[in-house]
Amino acid sequence: MSYDPFDWTDDEARRRADAGLVRTLRPRAAGTELLDLASNDYLGLSRDPEVTAAAAEAVRTWGAGATGSRLVTGSTALHAELERELAAFCGFEAALVFSSGYAANLAVLTALTGAGSLIVSDAGNHASIVDGCRLSRADTAVVPHADPEAARKALQSHDGRALAVTDSVFSVDGDAAPLPGLADVCRDTGAALVVDDAHGLGVLGEGGRGALAAAGLAGGEGVVVTLTLSKSLGSQGGAVLGPARVIRHLVNTARTFIFDTGLAPAAVGAALGALRLLRREPGRAARAVAVAAELHGRLTAAGLTAAPPDAAVVSVRAPSAESAVRWAADCRAAGLAVGCFRPPSVPDGISRLRLTARADLTRSQIEKAVDTVLATAPRPVG
């Protein structure tokens, strides 16, 4: 018999192809880029000259890589500066920067729970939260989406350490979590509240201070926030915000902090540059939300189905998975990049296009986006 330990991947690839679920990489080519309503660059900062200059300056000063894990050689004065400024901006006592938002979620969920603990997790939470729950060895109760009373029931059934975890803004549908209700439930039951504000930072709250600031929950004693630096801040990396004693605990126990190389200086510099720019130009956050509202208004007025956006994500229903794929491809052929979600990323029957509003979209770009989505829409829509 020939040596072929990966032959089974061909069988799986065939099954995916038969189901129309093949995923392929499409590297962007410089100079031929589409109008972007598919990325998470909500404030258009990833290419802002001030942000890229801050990244370049960080490379010149600190080098291309962090050189080691944060507890060995990978912590620079720039990391500390970013941690101080992020915590202050969002209204928390302390912050800790990670190499990604994914690693930040794994850190919090594994370090704050363990065997015998309970995690109550919203059914719509991001994959990194799902993986954090699995890795934690805690019992996990997945509760119906955006349902604080379901979270209350699950928490009341448990004796001992517990936390509830939710995305602040759900990445596919763009709807916001009921944070005040969840905070009440956590206070009543003694549980911690962990909120992944990946899609709220830079968009929600005064000047983009995030979903917790918007809900009046920033800096709350029982609240821990995870962030990514890769969306509205246009950089790369993640962070955890919370009480100083929680951050101290993560530094000492979180495996994705301790055993991971520190975030690269360029990413730290870019995030810091973006944060400072946002502090100086707070109107960018509201602009992203306003562009999302306009996209939603124009598309639904023309007959498409989409829930009103709570942040910068507009999620438009497609009649079927196949039509969603075709719709996104037709947009792409017409020069517009949009996200396309279909099974297995979302449940059957609710395939959709995901449009992300950007604060820096011009009037003519908004017109082109609306015209293209409408001109390529499958019939019947809804």
- Name the site residues for ligand PMP (rule: CB under 6 A): 100-102, 105, 126, 128, 167, 171, 196, 198-199, 228, 230, 238
Selection from 196, 192, 194 nearest residue 176 by Cα: 196
Smallest distance from the beta carbon of 40 to ligand PMP, in angstroms? 7
Q: Closer to ligand PMP at the Cβ: 267 or 299?
A: 267
Q: Are strands 118-122 and 162-167 parallel, antiparallel or unpaired?
A: parallel
Q: Closer to ligand PMP at the Cβ: 199 or 287?
A: 199
Q: Are strands 139-143 and 162-167 parallel, antiparallel or unpaired?
A: unpaired
| Cβ–Cβ under 8 Å, residues 202 and 44 | no
Q: Closer to ligand PMP at the Cβ: 110 or 171?
A: 171
Smallest distance from the beta carbon of 31 to ligand PMP, in angstroms? 26
Q: Determine if residue 116 is left, alpha or beta; phi over 0 gives left, psi from -120 to 50 gives alpha, anything else beta.
A: left
| Cβ–Cβ under 8 Å, residues 327 and 353 | yes
Smallest distance from the beta carbon of 125 to ligand PMP, in angstroms? 8
Number of helical H runs and strand E runs in the chain: 14, 11
Smallest distance from the beta carbon of 237 to ligand PMP, in angstroms? 7
Smallest distance from the beta carbon of 176 to ligand PMP, in angstroms? 12
Q: Closer to ligand PMP at the Cβ: 105 or 232?
A: 105
Smallest distance from the beta carbon of 103 to ligand PMP, in angstroms? 7
Smallest distance from the beta carbon of 302 to ligand PMP, in angstroms? 28
What's 309's DSSP letter? P
What's 304's DSSP letter? -
Cβ burial, residue 6 (10 Å; 0-12/13-18/19+): exposed
Alpha-carbon gap, residue 7 to 10, rounded angstroms: 6
Q: Are strands 238-242 and 94-98 parallel, antiparallel or unpaired?
A: antiparallel
Q: Closer to ligand PMP at the Cβ: 202 or 238?
A: 238
Hey, is 270 helix, strand or coil?
Answer: helix
Q: Closer to ligand PMP at the Cβ: 229 or 366?
A: 229
Smallest distance from the beta carbon of 185 to ligand PMP, in angstroms? 21
> Closest residue to ligand PMP, Cβ-based?
101
Q: Closer to ligand PMP at the Cβ: 131 or 294?
A: 131
Alpha-carbon gap, residue 155 to 289, rounded angstroms: 34
Alpha-carbon gap, residue 338 to 29, rounded angstroms: 17
Alpha-carbon gap, residue 233 to 12, rounded angstroms: 37
Q: Closer to ligand PMP at the Cβ: 177 or 191?
A: 177
